[in-house]
Amino acid sequence: MQQEHKHNRAQVTLDDIAERVGMSRTTVSRALGGHSDVSDRTRQRIEKAARELGYRPHTVARRLATGRSFTICAITGKLPFIRDALFIEVLDVLRLQLAAAGYDLIMGSREPGVSGVGDAISLIRQQQVDGIVLLETDIEDPLLGRIVEMETPLVLFGRSPEHPELPYVDTDGLAAIGTVVEYLARLGHKRIGYIGGPPWAVCAVQRLKGYLKACQSYGVSSDGLYIEMDHSGLAEGYSAAYALLNRTQTAPTALICYSDAMAFGAMRAAYELGLRVPDDLSVVGFDNVALDDFTIPKLTSVAQRTRDIGEHLARLILSEVEGEPTNPAQVLLGTELVVRESSKPPKAQ
């Protein structure tokens, strides 16, 4: 009790953490600093002790001593409300990992295209950030080009065809959509529609490729059954699904959506057209947000590994900032298809 009382009265130091875990102060410092020569097991034990003791690095003193801000900026675009849940989970993991290493995380947003570049660059310069995590990448991304010119340490969530050399963490969307098509084809669906995301987004392009490739592999018709939308929200899912379903002979019996938000919109369109999900139409989303368990019926969806995404982003940006390259510097993560109530075999034709 006396030991805990001491920690409550005074700022917790690296020596306090070292005493708790029975290791040297140097090992504790290197673990919290993100150095690669510390094993994952040791790092996790030290980070847990730091959280339990309420350790907070003396950021101001470090800034004065090093001339660095010890701040990382995560930049994202304007996202539909539903998809925010996915990024909140990723950012929360990223924040905790960075805090354990003594870094603060700030958020920045941008408008699509050239118009959003100036504000993002101004934020980066004003805050004098040590590194940047860019969430979601475009095929032609003017902001990315400017950041590369600034030579600020950078890690991407998503790949960039313009700068394939950059470190990134990404989800294998091509394989994920292929798995969904295979699943629906094995249920017996022959006409599988697809509502895609913005054609300028790298992940949207990959998922569409996965859909078209899998349809060909499994002998499923995709002719005229896919639509690309400029945004990936509820309204876009609704309007695209309405167009695909409002047909007499060639309507799909299953719909795959670029995001869960679009899937929610698609289910609304099906309801208005008198179609029952999943009896008349199977619907599958992407992201596996918490709301999927509360729709009627519950939504089948592709789950991204949000914790792994956040941890890898933290590891990579810390290695870039500290000048200690780590392998792998480019991480492609798999997904899991979470089957719920919104998908089933089609009715007998």
- Model pLDDT for residues 40-89, shown as the tens digit of each residue: 888 889 888 888 888 766 655 555 455 567 899 998 876 544 456 788 88
Residues 91 and 93: their CA atoms lie apart, in Å, by 5
Distance of CA 321 to CAs 29, 192, 258, 317, Å? 16, 45, 33, 6
Tell me how far CA of residue 140 lies from CA of 152, 153, 161, 199, in angstroms: 19, 20, 8, 11
Give residue 57's pLDDT: 65
Residue with tokens 């090992």: 27
SS3 192: strand
Cβ contact 266:286 at 8 Å: no
pLDDT 10s digits, 148-172: 888 889 999 999 999 999 999 999 9
End-to-end CA distance of the chain: 72
Least reliable range by pLDDT among 118-132, 215-229, 301-315, 322-336: 118-132
Domains and CATH numbers, the chain: 2-56 (1.10.260.40), 64-171+306-333 (3.40.50.2300), 173-304 (3.40.50.2300)
Cα of 45 vs its chain's centroid, Å: 26
CB 101 within 8 A of CB 32: yes
